[in-house]
Amino acid sequence: MKHGLIGLAAVCATFAFTLHAQAADDMAGMQMKPAASTSAPKPVEAEVRKVDAANGKVTLKHGPIENLGMPAMTMRFPVKDKASLARLKEGSRVRATFDKVNGVATVTSIEPE
């Protein structure tokens, strides 16, 4: 019985190795697309909910942000160019571009529509 279990284990290990090697060969020619977080930033339509010029932040109700992999939502963001906040008013429509700055989702540009 002991020898039978050892033989069975050897057969299973050989089978697993063969499947792994075959899967690696099958994937060798695949064209892999980059993750969403590596795509180039594109302007996103948004509505200004709150401007916090003192802290350099803006709350936006925005559409999906593809390059960050974020769905549509309302969120507070730091703004790279704090002077741009002077042109914004609550309730106004804007086009904003987002990217990660020091690991934080940040508004890198924002323009009223």
Check residue 4 and give its pLDDT: 58
Closest CA to 38 of 96, 99, 79, 95: 99
State the 10-residue block means of pLDDT for the chain, 113 residues long.
Answer: 56 49 46 54 97 98 96 98 96 98 97 93
Could you tell me the residue ranges of all domains in the chain? 1-32, 36-112
37 — phi, psi (to 5°)? Answer: -70, -10
CATH code of the domain occupying 36-112:
2.40.50.320
Instruction: Give the integer Cα–Cα distance in Å for 72 and 54.
Output: 26
67 — phi, psi (to 5°)? Answer: -70, -20
